[in-house]
């Protein structure tokens, strides 16, 4: 049996991620809350920082939203960037299989951690 695109779309599993950003009078984030319909936890979860990147296939560029709350500690921001770089390497490896460049990125992450004084052990 052949299904047209609309029928397939209606049968696909869907999940929704909702992000709520509470701003002060100067539009600086005070709170970042997120929730997902696909999560076992149905409560809103707090976050101090977020990075969202989307690829626009039509324009061949990325669209980004980078936010952090005004009380995000600098040491946690350093750790957040380190972990984000590491997981970007994981994603890039899964998406492309490019092991050599990911090894280079891992080397840079180690350099970044050292320069920023980030403890990567345990």
Q: Work out the pLDDT band at 32, boundaries 50, 70, 90.
A: very high
- Kindly report the pTM of this predicted structure: 0.85
In this predicted structure, the answer to whether residue 107 has a pLDDT above a threshold of 80 is yes
Long-range own/partner contacts, residues 7-11 (CB < 8 A, 24 or more apart): none
In this predicted structure, the answer to whether residue 41 has a pLDDT above a threshold of 90 is no
In this predicted structure, the answer to whether residue 1 has a pLDDT above a threshold of 60 is no
Q: What is the percent of the chain where pLDDT is above 70?
A: 96
End-to-end CA, the chain? 53
């Amino acid at each position: 049996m052949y299904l047209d695109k609309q029928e397939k779309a209606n049968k696909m599993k869907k999940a929704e991620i909702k992000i709520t950003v509470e701003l002060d009078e100067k539009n600086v984030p005070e709170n970042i809350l997120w929730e997902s319909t696909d999560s076992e936890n149905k409560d809103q979860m707090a976050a101090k920082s977020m990075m969202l990147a989307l690829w626009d296939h039509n324009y061949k560029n990325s669209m980004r939203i980078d936010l952090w709350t005004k009380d995000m500690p600098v040491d946690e921001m350093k750790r957040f960037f380190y972990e984000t770089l590491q997981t970007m390497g994981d994603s890039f490896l899964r998406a492309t299989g490019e092991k050599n460049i990911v090894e280079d990125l891992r080397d840079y992450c180690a350099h970044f951690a050292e320069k920023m004084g980030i403890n990567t052990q345990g």
